[in-house]
Amino acid sequence: MQTRTLGRSGLEVSALGLGCMGLSFGYGPATEKQQAVALIRSAFDQGVTFFDTAEAYGPFTNEELLGEALAPMRDQVVIATKFGFLDGDAQKGLDSRPERIRSVADASLRRLRTDRIDLFYQHRVDPNVPIEDVAGTVADLIREGKVKHFGLSEAGPQSIRRAHAIQPVTALQSEYSLWWREPEAEILPTLEELGIGFVPFSPLGKGFLTGAISEQTTFDATDFRNIVPRFSQEARKANQALVDLLGGIATSHHATPAQIALAWLLARKPWIVPIPGTTKLHRLKENLGAAAIVLGGQDLADIEAAVARIPVQGARYPEHLQKRVDR
């Protein structure tokens, strides 16, 4: 596995990380613990050194899972976690008050069984707390040695600039993939200017770009995708054209649609590090195989031209969650 550096921070991680949320939260029942531990350790064995979690995933159980799974190799990996929700519960709304950030840091350190958080993200920008106060609090935690790097998630350009002026931002984590390209307009130029790395979550379109989901697919009652407009049956039917396109390109590269989608992201910028998630060992191996696929200029031009002809149907979030995305 090749490595990449997130922006100008010097934080070196594997070219692909592992998004761990789905092992505990968001996509149906939690994975059995020992199975989840085995998957995380298999990722490490295959070269992954960058693992993403948050107190809100569970809540709390995902951090505990990573703490157990990564304890034997703690000094060889980079662990990212997040603060920003009231009581750690995404259903309760936002809370990035300085005292809350401090309490989350201490609790996360205990759950992760570690003495430092490598990358500490604000999960969503809190309109009730000046971003300067958030950045200043994380700067204090960095000085105390509890945190190594500061990150933001789903933050807009102005928030990124204001935070970065107080405490350099190492990475922004936001959704980015072949079926959600909004970051290209303002976010990517801002990050390039400031020397900030980009960590795309949902790089496989919450599973849709793998080709494993069709209009007939049904999701568990607790699966977040049930409320996502882009996953309505009508939208899935319309969006199948994008997956079919990826399938054709993948065939020519002896690859899978998921691998092409990830390789496309890796080709965008050298400081982009996608974090696909999975609960299945064979999907993990498939995803990590994308790091070995090199798309040339003509490949990228062909993908660009083809994707431009396929408008993706459906909003990426229901309205109440879209309101949490900073502008």
In a domain, 219, yes or no: yes
Q: What pLDDT does 273 receive?
A: 98
Q: What pLDDT does 320 receive?
A: 87
Domain containing 14: what range?
Answer: 3-322
In a domain, 92, yes or no: yes
Q: Please tell me the pTM assigned to this model.
A: 0.96
Per residue of the chain (327 residues), give pLDDT as tens. 999 999 899 999 999 999 999 999 988 899 999 999 999 999 999 999 999 999 999 999 999 999 999 999 999 999 999 999 999 999 999 999 999 999 999 999 999 999 999 999 999 999 999 999 999 999 999 999 999 999 999 999 999 999 999 999 999 999 999 999 999 999 999 999 999 999 999 999 999 999 899 999 999 999 999 999 999 999 999 999 989 988 988 998 999 999 999 999 999 999 999 999 999 999 999 999 999 999 989 889 988 888 888 888 999 988 888 888 987
Q: Residue 175 has which token pair?
A: 């959704």
Q: Is 237 helix (H, G, I), strand (E, B) or coil?
A: helix
Give me the long-range contacts of 130-134 (CB less than 8 A, separation at least 24): 131/155, 131/159, 131/162, 131/163, 131/166, 132/162, 132/163, 132/165, 132/166, 133/98, 134/96, 134/98, 134/101, 134/163
Tell me how many helices (H) and strands (E) the chain has: 11, 9
Q: Give the Cα separation of 282 and 138 in Å (integer).
A: 38
**Which CATH number belongs to the domain containing residue 7 in this structure?**
3.20.20.100
Q: Give the Cα separation of 275 and 199 in Å (integer).
A: 7
Q: Is 219 helix (H, G, I), strand (E, B) or coil?
A: coil
Q: What pLDDT does 140 receive?
A: 98
In a domain, 37, yes or no: yes
Q: Give the Cα separation of 289 and 7 in Å (integer).
A: 24
Minimal CA–CA distance to 23: which of 12, 31, 15, 14? 31
Q: Give the Cα separation of 32 and 149 in Å (integer).
A: 31
Is 317 noted as a catalytic residue in this protein? no
Question: Which amino acid is it at 327?
Answer: R
User: How many structural domains are present in the chain?
Assistant: 1
Q: What pLDDT does 70 receive?
A: 98
Q: Give the Cα separation of 180 and 156 in Å (integer).
A: 15
Q: Is 80 helix (H, G, I), strand (E, B) or coil?
A: strand
In a domain, 256, yes or no: yes
Q: What pLDDT does 166 receive?
A: 98
In a domain, 101, yes or no: yes
Say what angle helices 61-70 and 33-45 make with each other, to 10 degrees. 50
Q: Give the Cα separation of 91 and 325 in Å (integer).
A: 15
Other Cβ atoms less than 10 A from the Cβ of 59: the count is: 18
Residues facing residue 19 across a β-bridge: 52
Instruction: For residue 250, report the phi and psi dihedrals to the nearest 5 degrees.
Output: -60, -40
Close Cβ partners of 297 (under 8 Å, ≥ 6 residues apart): none
Question: Which amino acid is it at 25?
Answer: F
Judge contact between 3 and 77, C-beta under 8 A.
no
Q: What pLDDT does 307 receive?
A: 86
Classify the C-alpha dihedral 207-212-213-214 as positive or negative: positive
Q: Residue 17 has which token pair?
A: 């990380």
In a domain, 190, yes or no: yes
In a domain, 327, yes or no: no
Given the residues 27, 57, 121, 176, select the one marked as catalytic: 57
In a domain, 290, yes or no: yes
